[in-house]
Amino acid sequence: MNIKLVCGSETLLDSWPGEIPPTVEQLLNTVKKTHPQAAANWCDEKGRLRASLAVFINGEHIRYRQGLRTELKEADEVYVIALIAGG
């Protein structure tokens, strides 16, 4: 499926294998395994996705959908913010 996951300036996944669309959580957990370094800041000490992780679908924060349980669809672009601090 044509589903992308971008974090900062890096595209971590440009298509989703399989025909059943994943939830945001499934997508993130998959990419966490393939790109552990990029995803290092996504999880707490116990390896769970942080509730505060800033994730967007086509530019909209997932809080305005069903959060991590949001089901993705064809052509969705998921964007994860790597870091908000500083300046």
Partner 1 sequence: MANGFMGKLLNVDLAGGRLTEEPLDETLCRDYVGGYGLGARLLYERIPKGADPLGPQNVLGILTGPLTGTAAIIGSRFVAVAKSPKTGGWGDANCGGHFGPHLKFAGFDGVLFSGISAKPVYLFIDEGRAQLLDAADLWGLGVTALEDLLVQRHGKGTQVCSIGPAGERLALSACIMNDKERAAGRSGLGAVMGSKRLKCIVVKGKMAVPVHDAQQMKELRKKYLKQATGAFEVFNRYGTAGITHDAILSGDAPVKNWGGAGATDFPSQRGRRISDEAVVSLEGYKSYGCWHCPIACGGRVTQTGGRFPLTLNDGVGHKPEYETLAMFGPNLLNDDLASIVKLNEICNNLGMDTITVGATIAYALECCENGLLSRQQTDGLDLRWGNAEAIVALAEKIGRREGFGDLLADGVWAAWKRLGRIGTEYAVHIQGEEIPAHDPKFTPGLASTYWLTATPGRHTQGGELVAGPGVAVPDVDKYAYSGRAEGHHILVAAVEVVNAAGLCLFGYLSYPFKAVLEQLAAATGEAWDMGRILTAGTRIYTMRHAFNLREGLNPLARNMPGRIVGEPPLREGNVKEITVDYRMLAREFLERLNWDPRTTVPEAETLEQHGMEFLADDLRHANVAPA
Residues found near partner 1 in the complex (CB under 8 A): 8-9, 40-41, 44-45, 51-52, 54, 56, 59-61, 64, 79, 81-87
CB of 20 to partner 1, least distance (A): 28
Q: Closest distance between partner 1 and the C-beta of residue 82, in Å?
A: 6
The residues, ordered by sequence, that sit 6+ positions from 61 with a Cβ below 8 Å of its Cβ are 54, 55
Amino acid at 55: V
3-state helix, strand, coil in the chain (%, to 5): 25, 25, 55
Given the complex with partner 1, which of 3 and 57 has the nearer CB atom? 57
CB of 39 to partner 1, least distance (A): 12
Q: Which is nearer to partner 1, 18 or 86 (CB)?
A: 86
Q: What is the dihedral of CA 36, 57, 1, 25, to 10 degrees?
A: 50
